[in-house]
Amino acid sequence: MATWRDKREHPLSRDALRALLENEIPAIRIRDFATADECASFAAAMRGGNIRSYGVDREIGYIGMAQYEFRWGKDKRDYFAAVPKAFADQRAVFARSFDPMTRFIDTLQGVWPAPIGLAQDEYGPYFAGIIRFATGGIDLHADYAPFNMPGYAVADITSQLAWNLFVEAPATGGVTTVHHSPWTPAMRDDTPPKSYGLPREDVAGAETFDYCAVAGDVVIFNSRNQHEVSPGGGGDARGRLQIGSFVGRQRDDALVLFA
């Protein structure tokens, strides 16, 4: 069974980003990406935003949109029709705090030689930068557009990362476990397979890596690996509040963001 070349968080660099895209290392952490004041203002703006919930067993509140909600029984055009409203809800939060999306793209572009920007499709840009309330935990799942999003332009990417900026973290719990078990489901035509609440036997015996949410830090990992988040706790009012997106590598090495 494949293993990472080490089991530690790496600082951001061109070599580390390439290694993460190749699934050779478990994670990159960008420490102090946001200040304490920026995190506090963002968390407050989140709580006053247009919050909706995923249709999954453990409630996950979000602002913006997730392609997961358009995966079955809807046309691709439905997703792109919803993009402008999702960006409007996201930017309402940014207007009361700061813009981590632009900062993240600029930070990556500082180390990556190819262009970085929003993914584009025939109907326009993808949404990116979903704001989430994930204190209750997230079940075992995987994210990889060639399987999740057949028929979308991002299905042509060659590898996929996920990044999250944490603006608030619980005192205990809220730990992400990444399993070195790249998701390779059986496909039936162009129907996306189940990707959430995956069976635990799929990761039996796989190498694992845990990372903790720290307010102000960004963590990036390879989202094709199956992963899960434990519930947060600690008896205080802090939750696991975050913003992030996927980053896909195209065949020309350009990086595109989407959600």
* Residue 55, pLDDT score: 67
Split at pLDDT 50, 70, 90, the class of 236 is: low
Per-residue pLDDT, averaged over 24-39, amounts to 98
Parallel/antiparallel/unpaired status of strands 120-121 and 124-125:
antiparallel
**Is 4 contained in some domain?**
no
pLDDT digits 0-9 by tens, 132-171: 999 999 999 999 999 999 999 999 999 999 999 999 999 9
Q: Would you state the structure tokens that stand for residue 171, as one six-digit string?
A: 């005192």
| Residue 236 falls inside a structural domain | yes
Q: How many domains does the chain have?
A: 1
Predicted pLDDT of residue 59 = 80
What residue type is 217 in one-letter code?
D
Q: How confident is the model at residue 237 (pLDDT cuts 50, 70, 90)?
A: confident
How is residue 84 written in tokens? 């402008």
Q: Per the domain annotation, does 37 fall within a domain? A: yes
117, pLDDT greater than 70: yes
Where do we find the tokens 């499709």? 121
pLDDT of residue 95: 98
Query: What's the rounded Cα separation, in Å, for the pair 126 and 256?
Result: 9
Note the pLDDT of residue 58.
Answer: 78
pLDDT at 175: 97
The per-residue pLDDT for 151 is: 95
Query: Considering the domain boundaries, does residue 7 fall inside one?
Result: no
Has residue 235 got a pLDDT over 70?
no
Q: Does the pLDDT at position 190 exceed 90?
A: no
Q: How confident is the model over 62-109, as pLDDT tens digits?
A: 999 999 889 998 999 999 999 999 999 999 999 999 999 999 999 999
In percent, how much of the chain has pLDDT > 70?
Answer: 98
1 found inside a domain: no
Domain assignment of residue 3, yes or no: no
DSSP 3-state assignment of 51? coil
> What is the domain range of residue 247?
13-258
In a domain, 196, yes or no: yes
According to the model, what pLDDT value does residue 184 have?
A: 95
130, exposed or middle or buried, with CB in 10 Å at 0-12, 13-18, 19+?
A: buried
Segment 157-186 shows an average pLDDT of: 96
Mean pLDDT of the chain: 95
pLDDT in the model for residue 234: 67
Confirm if 70 and 113 have CB atoms less than 8 A apart: no
0.85 exceeded by pTM: yes
74: domain CATH number is: 2.60.120.620
- Whole-number Cα distances in Å, 2 to 5, 9, 62, 182: 9, 18, 34, 10
